[in-house]
Amino acid sequence: MPSDLSTNRPDKPVSTETAVRPDSSALPAAHAKHSHDDAPDAAAAFARLAELEDGPERDAVRDELVTVWLPMAHRIAGRFRDRGESVEDLRQVAAMGLVKAVDRYDPSRGAFESYAVPTITGEVKRHFRDRMWALRVPRRVQELRNKVRLARRDLTLNPGSPEPTMAEIAAHTGLTEDEVGAGMEAMESFSTLSLDAELASAEDNYSLADTLGAVDSSYELVVDREAAREGLRRLPERERAILYMRFFEDMTQTRIADVLGISQMHVSRLISRSCARVRDEAMGGQQQPPAGRPDADGRTRAA
């Protein structure tokens, strides 16, 4: 069904009493007021859409409404530029919000623009919140980031303005310097660093990818510690105590022997046997003492 939804507006205001519009008497006066040039007078089309049943005619009116209000959605998307997302993608997200607004709008509740603007804005904000953060951070930190970003923009409006300090941003926003620091750190979490990016401290143009193959001995220590954990847990309590005194308290075998009331030779054998059992456990096997020799509990294993 053809509808006159042109965004061209007359040079002089047109009275709602004299304007020729279908079913204009049934529409609230708020529909005649628009705050932006990209807000067309589509009240009659929305009234028509509300009356139609699902079908090709209703789909045509719906599509036309989305088309004429699309410039407004693009304007809202433009508010979120320079935040790590392309303008084209932002416009697509805003268009999705516009479609939702058209589908859910109730003409009896007021002007479409007053309903569509928060709907579209919310859709774009959800996109940033759910899909654009490389590292998930709490909502409070996201809010701090936005305040810091806006403050930096306000404080550098004049050409040649230096980068504001944390103290200046804190004074401008009313935040503490710790909160400003958290917001600035969150700005780094908003997008990931490319593997091809050169490291700031590299003198030979190393990229982040060049460092991925570097060996970190601390990783091996963590792996060994976790592998030995189960073997240590399986040891008798006395042997665990001996290993603790020897390797964590740095006690000599003679001192350990005095504490336990046994010989230094026996302490040496228990340490060797316990370490072997833990090593065997870490390697995936269960070492057994040779036949005819006592096990960790002092029992002799039959041949």
Over the stretch 22-48, which tens digit does the pLDDT of each residue have?
343 333 333 444 455 666 778 888 988
Token reading at 270: 């228990």
Range 221-241 average pLDDT: 87
Looking at the fold, whether 144 and 103 belong to one and the same domain comes out as no
For 198, list phi and psi in degrees, rounded to 5: -75, 140
* pLDDT score, position 47: 87
Q: What is the CATH number of the domain that holds 240?
A: 1.10.10.10
Range 283-297 average pLDDT: 50
Kindly indicate the confidence band of residue 70, based on its pLDDT and cuts at 50, 70 and 90: very high
Single-letter amino acid code for the residue at 76: I
pTM recorded for the entire structure: 0.41
In which element (H, E) is residue 172 found?
Answer: helix 166-173
* pLDDT score, position 98: 94
Select the more confidently predicted residue: 173 or 4: 173
Looking at the fold, whether 273 and 221 belong to one and the same domain comes out as yes
Number of domains in the chain: 3
Q: Which burial class, exposed, middle or buried, applies to 52 when counting CB atoms under 10 A from its CB (0-12, 13-18, 19+)?
A: middle
Look at the block and give the residue holding tokens 């939702």: 100
Secondary structure string (H, E, C) spanning 236-293: CHHHHHHHHHHHCCCCCHHHHHHHHCCCHHHHHHHHHHHHHHHHHHHCCCCCCCCCCC
Does residue 254 carry a pLDDT above 70? yes
Residue 13: which residues within 8 A CB-CB, separation 6 or more? none
Looking at the fold, whether 57 and 118 belong to one and the same domain comes out as yes
Q: What is the CATH number of the domain that holds 186?
A: 1.10.10
Range 169-176 average pLDDT: 92
What is the domain extent for residue 232? 217-282
Look at the block and give the residue holding tokens 């804190």: 170
| Residue 258 within a domain | yes
pLDDT in tens, 87-142: 898 999 999 999 999 999 988 888 899 999 999 999 998 887 777 655 566 778 87
Kindly indicate the confidence band of residue 288, based on its pLDDT and cuts at 50, 70 and 90: very low
Looking at the fold, whether 37 and 103 belong to one and the same domain comes out as yes
Q: What is the CATH number of the domain that holds 36?
A: 1.10.1740.10
| Residue 19 within a domain | no
